[in-house]
Amino acid sequence: MATAAATDTIFETPPRPPNRIWTLAEGRAMFELGAFFMSRPLLAHLPKGDGHAVKVLPGFMASNSSTVPMRRLLARLGYDAHGWDSGRNIRVDNALIARLEAQLMRLNDDSGRKVSLVGWSLGGVLARELAKLHPDRVRLVISLGSPISDDRNHTNASRLFELLNGKEPEPMRGGRFRRLDQAPPVPTTSILTKTDGIVHWRGSVQKPGATPTENIEVYASHCGLGVNPSVMLAIADRLAQPEGHWEPFAPPAATRWMFPKTALD
């Protein structure tokens, strides 16, 4: 967890994309995928779920296929894991938001229980905004390498995003998505890596909010966050908390080495 002074320093730093070295090294995500499959016997022993619904949102330009490994793991751990019903994550418009809301309401109504949201990159931004719209239906939000600083200059995908969505996507023109840096009114976790090659890690650090918030640092690439074993450990730990009894992340001693304790400034 960042101290108040460190957090202030973060948001005073001029936003910029990641160093090109990390961008060129994003291919290491293939090794993270390999590590995921090799560690499946160990991942099967992660904390078991209570059966509540978990909706997983893919990153920019990605589809449900990118979150299949994560969702299969969550299902094996006992969760009712779902992808989203919106195809490839390209256009952020009112139609997309309406579909996300409808799916959230359906999952909540069918189970009678709040839904947890896990979003990768842009998917995390959407998950947080969805939780702001319907906090009574959301249990918690976990974002993975998401650009939540409210400044697109933290990501090197900003030009492509604006080419496809304009400077102000349709929801922004309607008054939504105006304070991306403000956490939703539910427990919220941002998982980030300082070696992210797509979104500068400073853009993923969230400010303390009125409701529980935290930042968890891992050793990972941006494209590997959805399969990295340490990320799976953190996600499973967060989801396994009893509803209404949130505590900050504290990894077991045996896995503490997977979570660097560097200053987020």
Q: Which of 3-7, 21-25, 37-41 has the lowest mean pLDDT?
A: 3-7
Residues 6+ apart with CB under 8 A from 89: 57, 58, 59, 60, 61, 62, 63, 122, 123, 126
Check residue 175 and give its pLDDT.
78
**Per-residue pLDDT band at 104 (split at 50, 70, 90):** very high
**Per-residue pLDDT band at 6 (split at 50, 70, 90):** very low
Check residue 69 and give its pLDDT.
97
Which tens digits make up the pLDDT trace of 125-163? 999 999 999 999 999 999 999 999 888 889 999 999 999
What's the gap between Cα 156 and its chain centre? 18
How far from each other are the two terminal CA atoms of the chain, in whole angstroms? 11
**Per-residue pLDDT band at 45 (split at 50, 70, 90):** very high
Q: What's the rounded mean pLDDT across residues 250-258?
A: 94
Task: Please give the residue that has the higher pLDDT: either 209 or 32.
Answer: 32
Which tens digits make up the pLDDT trace of 168-225? 888 888 877 888 899 999 999 999 999 999 999 999 999 887 889 999 999 999 999 9
Check residue 12 and give its pLDDT.
60
Check residue 32 and give its pLDDT.
97
Examine the pLDDT at 1 and tell me if it is beyond 60: no
Helices 68-76 and 29-38: crossing angle in degrees, nearest 10, is 20
- Residue 78 backbone class (left: φ over 0; alpha: ψ -120 to 50; beta: rest): left
d(Cα 70, Cα 240) in Å, to the nearest integer? Answer: 15
In the three-class reduction of DSSP (H, G, I as helix; E, B as strand; rest coil), residue 191 is classed as strand
Examine the pLDDT at 11 and tell me if it is beyond 60: no
Residues in the chain: 265
Check residue 237 and give its pLDDT.
98
